[in-house]
Structure 1
Amino acid sequence: MSRKRTRFSPFLKQTITTFLTSENFMRFPLEISPNLRFNSSQRLNNPGQSLLLQCFVTSAVGINLIGHGAVVGFAAVLLPQLSDPHSDIHTSKTANSWIGKMFLHVPASVIGITLLIGSFLASPIMGRYGRKVAHYTISVTALVGWLTTILADSVEVILIGRIIGGLSFGMMLPLRSILIGEYTSPKNRGAFLTTISLTQGCGIFFVHLVGSLLSWRRTALVCLFLPFVSLIMTLFTPESPSWLVSKGRYNECRGVFHWLRGDEEETELEAMIEARVNFEKTMRNQKKLDIIKTVQKQEFYKPIILMVHVYAMGQLSGAATIAAYGTTVIELVMHPGVNSSAWMIGLDSQRVIVNTLAIFIINWFKRRAMMCSTGILCVASHLAIVAYVYLKDQDVLSSEAIWIPGILLNIQFFSVSLGMVPLPSVIAGEVFPLEYRSLAGSISQASVAGTMFLVLKTFPGLVDSIGITGTYLVYAGLLTYCLFVIMFLMPETKGRTLQEIEDGYRGGVVVEEEMRSLKSNGENGKVVSTGTKT
């Protein structure tokens, strides 16, 4: 038996390697499916069919995000069952070891470290091998994480499974917005990007629901099917047209673009190809890549600075602290005797409902208006909670009137669910330029992991030292600072193509100067959209 395995393993490895490196890898699923067959001359004239195809490719991402939401919420199912005396794995056996103590805090701060590492792992994969291969990698990593958890026979193995799941989630952070943003039309892009926060919220709700009915092993087994289904669906999706054009594969880009969008958005396709051709000509005139000049480019550093502050608002708004310390926050704001679990379920339900509404609302209002209004509402709710708790501690208000803090917490969660959580994913899918999209996305997503780690790690200490009023006051000040920076750097992206947004950051003058530079260096000839010169 062992001899057969020895012979089979190299053969399997060689077969997989040959398939992944073949030229037909990207087209494989489209060739075997009659409904999704890829044809470079195929054009969709039916807008409804085009929207349906965009829904399909976005669903492959969404199902994976539900799985990653389950990764986040799985700790709430796992820890109570491990603490049960009848559990086959007892945390008490390793409670005094460093691994046991670390495990007890995995749902809070340690997850930020795995997200940080994963976000940087995704950048070279999706930049060099494509968005589709990166999505394959993420799905397989998630499968390994869930399998490790299911087969675990000790706390240490469970921790390894959690870390692998966190790495998969971290790799998904920069890819999710980029992939959906590149697949979808400008008129529907905001709604599609808003589903990121909705699907993750549904994943948390899903794992809590299943975990209340099944054991943690069976819950993990159910969750295993989420990345598996996403992996199968990804087989039948094409590569991103933006990545194809970045590699100079213009004919394939045209075919995928027409397959996804039809004929209605030909202008965006031509502008994207022409911009890439001009960029390649400019690069040929440069003897070597000047990293310092790249970092100094507006289209590189401005979106990164913008997204660092946008993501920071999402974490400081209460999305991270309420998810990890929700019952503690509710008891501190209301009073210790309140049914914090029931209030937490109510806030979770509100999040799912408001996230669903945000999918439709995002297409009605401009991005800047939504960010500004929800940001101001979030700051106001923080200050109102500070005022209420202070007056309650001074016996000016009765602690029995829990409807007052209940309304204030719901207002805070409303602003978080409507803007602070969904908008970062929407904006991230729109502002990064094509050439630096993978790197810039990973850098900004690394700030998410860092901010999440700091917020979750410092929250208990802040509450112990300055109380919930001081903590919320600090958060309100930081939120106000972030909001000012965002309003200064953020362009209006609603209804604009990705190329138009990129050109806006670069400035029309820069583009004209590059064209004059090309002509002065002897690059004569008219540039056409196919990348040839006449």
Structure 2
Amino acid sequence: MSNAVFKQIWIVSGVLLTMVEVGTFLGFTTCLLPALKDPDSPIKATLEESSWIAASFSLAWIPGFLSSSYYMDRFGRKMGFILDIIPGALGLIVMYFSTNVACLLAARVLQGITAGSTTILGAIVIGEYSSPVHRGMFLNLKTAALYVGSTLVHILGHYFHWRTVAAITLIPYLLAFAMVCTWPESPSWLASNKRFDRSRTVFYRLRGKTEQSEKELTEMIEAQQERQPTEELSAYQKLAHFCQKFGKRDFVMPVLNYLFAAILLETTGRHIFPAYAVQIISEISGNSGSIYYTFALDVIVAVSATFSSYLIKIMKRRTLLFTTGFAAVVVLKAACGYLYLASKDLIPNAPRVPLSLFALYFAIVNFACAPIPLALVGEIFPLEHRAAGTTIAGILISVTSIVTLKTTPFLLETFKVYGTFTILGIVMAISLVFLYFMLPETKDRTLQEIEYFFNHGRFREDETRNRKGDQELVQMIP
């Protein structure tokens, strides 16, 4: 392993440890909400309050995205990530000492700020610090780390009180904080601030000196040299400048792609399952050994998300996304159909059948449909629009997550598990269709090549190939 690759792994490891912590935040309600229903619990919560404890986490992503966007542009990726980590640590401390629902809501909001900001900025960090050949694998490992964290909190929640779980899960934070403090600044951020000499030094330290890396660095620096230096703007001018972005193709097209990617991400059940795993599995299994089924699904999801990091290294993004996506929809419909027929006593009710189908569904969907939308944040937004684009992407994720988390308790109560996932499956299929016609292939592409695609609607070599074809055709005409 080269020294450059080791440095990339070290930086990515800091992001992954933070994502493990975010995964514990996502799954924390699985041990918290059932405990609040206990008659002996010192803190009582109604169904409405419980739904807000779950949804407030996603609502807080919006200020997290906004603050992260400002930090990453103003202070750089390294300092921005450090500042993003702090609210989550405070949230765990508030959670540990909570005495009422208001304290729990405050803790979840603080955790949500960190979850939103680090999830988005983590993708940017991986995209800018790692080479194109490793970028897809590293970005996918973010999702695997989330599920490892979710699995961890489910296990800890089974054996320990939720206050103890809050204290234990502070450990990954301390390790991640120490690792982030050792990072160099992003070469992309340095170049965007016209610090080209420093950018070259850091870039070669991270990537080594190869023909491919020199080409990528040259294209990045040339693109930033062509940009006019931005003057200090008033608040009104900043708003006007932001609104003008919606008239630029290289901003609008990535945003449209991410709109459907965010919908796809949420309708896979990525946030619903960690938050309501026990309730979902209990309904399907009739409470018999539901916690063990939950653990089994956790392991399946974590393993499949990890294995997808290998698949995405050897397969094209689009091929993997749409093959597994539509296959997952079919499996999900089969599981929901079985549960519906069993509920009407039209077929025998054997819980192992739908549980096996759901396990297969979550395994398939985590090969691509959950990891790739998160990975896209670090790939599709041009450097000029990266802060604004990731803010929009974060808001889209937050809004779709709030809607799903807030409505899930009522959907489960009204339509049961089969009705809830039938609705999600339909929306998921629609999102896949839109992405099929809009999303470019990003495998092994540099960020500059992807930026060129969104500016011109095709990759540079495709344009060159078409131009040569036109010239040959003209030459053939007598």
How would you bin the TM-score normalised by the shorter chain? 0.7 to 0.9
Q: 2 CA distance for matches of 1:480 and 1:421?
A: 14
Q: In structure 2, do the counterparts of structure 1 residues 72 and 463 end up closer, same or farther at CA, with 3 Å as the change threshold?
A: closer
**In the alignment, is residue 60 of structure 1 matched against residue 14 of structure 2?**
yes
Aligned: 1:294 with 2:245:
yes
Q: Which amino acid aligns with 2:16?
A: G
Secondary structure class of the residue paired with 1:318: coil
Corresponding residue for residue 410 of structure 2 = 461
> Structure 2 CA distance, aligned partners of 1:281 and 1:156?
46
| Correspondence for 2:325 among 375, 378, 394 | 375
Report matched runs for 1:385-534 at 5 Å. Answer: 385-400=335-350, 402-507=351-456
Determine if contact 1:149/1:217 at 8 Å carries over to the other structure: yes
| Paired residue secondary structure (1:140) | helix
Structure 1 counterpart of 2:30: 76
Q: Which residue of 2 aligns with 1:278?
A: 226
The residue that corresponds to 2:43 in the other structure is 91
CA 1:462–1:105: 2 relative to 1, 3 Å: closer
Change (3 A) 1:391 1:146: closer
Task: Give the equivalent residue in structure 1 for 2:66.
Answer: 120
Superposed CA RMSD in Å reads 2.7
* Letter paired with 2:308: A
Residue 48 of structure 1 corresponds to which residue in structure 2?
2
Q: Is the 8 A contact 2:453 2:459 kept in 1?
A: no
- The 1:143–1:48 alpha-carbon spacing in structure 2 relative to 1, beyond 3 Å, is same
The answer for the alignment partner of 2:465 in structure 1 is none
Shift in CA distance, 509/134, structure 1 to aligned 2, threshold 3 Å:
same
CA contact 1:383–1:476 (8 Å) conserved in 2: yes
Q: What is the alpha-carbon distance in structure 2 between the residues aligned to residue 278 and residue 372 of structure 1?
A: 37
1:250 aligns with 2:196: yes
Structure 1, 467-476 or 249-258: larger mean CA deviation = 467-476
Question: Which residue does 1:39 correspond to in 2?
Answer: none
Offset from partner CA, 1:176-231 (integer Å, 9 cap, x none) = 11111111000000111011111111112223333444443333222222222212
Gap runs ≥5 in structure 2: 232-236, 461-478
1:501 to partner: Cα distance: 0.5
Deviates more, 1:465-474 or 1:226-235: 465-474
For 2:273, the equivalent position in structure 1 comes to: 322
Structure 2: distance between partners of 1:155 and 1:267? 55
* SS in structure 2 of the partner of residue 242 of structure 1: helix
Contact 1:144–1:164 (8 Å) recurs in 2: yes
Query: Which residue of the partner structure matches residue 34 of structure 1?
Result: none
Cα contact 1:379–1:480 (8 A) shared by 2: yes
Q: Is the 8 A contact 1:245 1:276 kept in 2?
A: yes
Give the structure with higher Rg (CA).
Answer: 1
- Percent identical pairs in the alignment equals 29
Residues 176-255 of structure 1 aligned to structure 2 (within 5 Å): 176-255=122-201
Q: 1:340 aligns with which of 272, 290, 314?
A: 290
Shift of 1:109: 2.0
The structure-2 alpha-carbon separation of the partners of 1:267 and 1:329, relative to structure 1 and needing over 3 Å to count, comes to same
Structure 2 counterpart SS, 1:418: coil
Cα deviation code 1:320-378 (max 9, x no counterpart): 3322333443355x453543322221111101111121121110100001110121012
- Output the CA distance in 2 between the equivalents of 1:50 and 1:339: 48
Corresponding residue for residue 83 of structure 2: 137
Number of the residue aligned with 2:257:
306
- Count of aligned residue pairs for this structure pair: 452
Q: Which residue of 2 aligns with 1:148?
A: 94
Cα distance in 2 for partners of 1:509, 1:338 equals 54
Q: Any idea what SS the aligned residue of 2:228 has? A: helix
How far off its partner does 1:427 sit? 1.9
Query: Aligned partners of 2:242, 2:37: CA distance in 1, in Å?
Result: 52
Q: Which residue of 1 aligns with 2:315?
A: 365
- Per the normalisation by structure 2, the TM-score is 0.87
Which shows bigger deviation, 143-152 or 223-232?
143-152
Greater Cα shift, 319-328 or 274-283: 274-283
Unaligned runs of 5+ in 1: 1-46, 512-534
Q: Distance in 1 between matches of 2:47 and 2:313?
A: 46
Partner Cα distance (1:315, 1:114) in 2: 16
**Residue aligning to 1:6:** none
Q: Deviations over 1:264-290 (max 9, x none)?
A: 21110000000111232899xxx9976
CA distance in 2, matches of 1:376, 1:438: 32
Q: Which moved more, 1:65-74 or 1:442-451?
A: 65-74
